[in-house]
Amino acid sequence: MRRATLALLPLLLLVGCTSASGTDEEDPAPAPTAAPASPDGRWQPRPGVDWQWQLNGKLDTSVDVPVYDIDGFDQTAAVVTALHAKNRKVICYLSTGAYEDWRPDAADFPKSVIGKGNGWEGERWLDIRQLSILEPLMTKRLDMCKEKGFDAVEPDNMDGYLNDTGFPLKAEDQLAYNRLIAGLAHDRGMSVGLKNDMDQIPDLLADFDFAVNEQCAQYKECDTLTPFIEAGKAVFHVEYELPTSRFCGESKRLRLSSLEKKYELGAWRKAC
């Protein structure tokens, strides 16, 4: 879920971007490789590593970066294997906090766990308190990521307690659920990123291997992500409404892995 599209913004039609690489990169700084592993053997992306985030349109595998973040359902094991052959690490995008009516497992979600819309067509918040229902469903999704060969997981919609979900979610409910998802990923040998949910970084830093953030520069809160950087963990960051000239200076100072992207998250990118 793109952060700026909550209830007050219009729905966007998710279409692929026609620009193949959009690598309008101006004098990019050297980036670290994606190779380091954690003491547990999981991949540990380091601060400043370059990346590509593409969730829509025909996947462009020609972008010369060490890390790709792509849709776990839409992309095949063959795609992951091909990216690995180019020495890329690959992150599996999943929505773990919201129901999506077009996914192949949508019928497995009972109505009791499906709440209000989150601002995106076909998506509704989940009642993350109902762990006995959601844990087996998310286990199957993470098994899919593992079977396809992904190195890591980006679980989306992980801050429902801050939104109007239709359920009386509390901060402790979110902590319990986010730790559950992190544990499921780690049990399968994959690293896992904390998506947004910035208020809970102090509590969740030890449970997550990297962060994924949208629009911290626009909302003047990128410093909040510093604990990840200080722990040697990458922060994958995107801005949609600010040009790179408005945020790259701060991003380089903070050692964020920053991109300018369009809301549809097609292939186009502009890196710091």
Dihedral class, residue 268 (left if φ above 0, else alpha if ψ from -120 to 50, else beta): beta
Percent of the chain surpassing pLDDT 90:
85
Average pLDDT, the chain: 90
pLDDT of residue 262 exceeding 90, the answer is yes
Q: Look at the chain and report how many structural domains it folds into.
A: 1
Query: pLDDT confidence of 40, banded at 50, 70, 90?
Result: confident
Q: What pLDDT is recorded for position 39?
A: 60
> 125 near 168, Cβ under 8 Å?
no
Is residue 196 situated within a structural domain? yes
Instruction: Say which range, 28-32, 97-101, 111-115, 184-188, has the weakest mean pLDDT.
Output: 28-32
Ranges assigned E (strand) in the chain: 51-54, 67-71, 89-95, 98-100, 114-117, 123-126, 152-156, 191-195, 210-214, 235-239, 257-260, 270-271
pLDDT of residue 37 exceeding 70, the answer is no
pLDDT of residue 9 exceeding 50, the answer is no
Is residue 31 situated within a structural domain? no
Query: pLDDT confidence of 30, banded at 50, 70, 90?
Result: very low
pLDDT of residue 114 exceeding 70, the answer is yes
The range of the structural domain enclosing residue 94 comes to: 42-271
Query: pLDDT confidence of 27, banded at 50, 70, 90?
Result: very low
Of 20 and 206, the structure prediction assigns the larger pLDDT to: 206
Average pLDDT over residues 91-97: 98
Of 123 and 19, the structure prediction assigns the larger pLDDT to: 123
CATH code for position 97: 3.20.20.70
| Secondary structure (DSSP) of 178-231 | HHHHHHHHHHTT-EEEEES-GGGHHHHGGG-SEEEEESTTTTT-GGGGHHHHHT
Average pLDDT over residues 109-117: 98
Number of C-beta neighbours around residue 114 at 10 A: 18
Is residue 36 situated within a structural domain? no
pLDDT of residue 14 exceeding 50, the answer is no
pLDDT of residue 47 exceeding 50, the answer is yes
Average pLDDT over residues 225-248: 98
Is residue 157 situated within a structural domain? yes
Per-residue b/e over 218-235, b at no fewer than 16 CB within 10 Å? beeebebbeebbeeebbb
Of 150 and 25, the structure prediction assigns the larger pLDDT to: 150
Reported as a single tens digit per residue, the pLDDT across 153-191 is 999 999 999 999 999 999 999 999 999 999 999 999 999
Give whichever of 11-15, 38-42, 44-48 has the largest mean pLDDT: 44-48
Q: What pLDDT is recorded for position 191?
A: 98
Average pLDDT over residues 29-55: 77
Is residue 3 situated within a structural domain? no
Is residue 29 situated within a structural domain? no
pLDDT of residue 36 exceeding 70, the answer is no
Q: What pLDDT is recorded for position 38?
A: 62
Number of C-beta neighbours around residue 171 at 10 A: 12
Instruction: Say which range, 3-7, 129-133, 222-226, has the weakest mean pLDDT.
Output: 3-7
Is residue 100 situated within a structural domain? yes
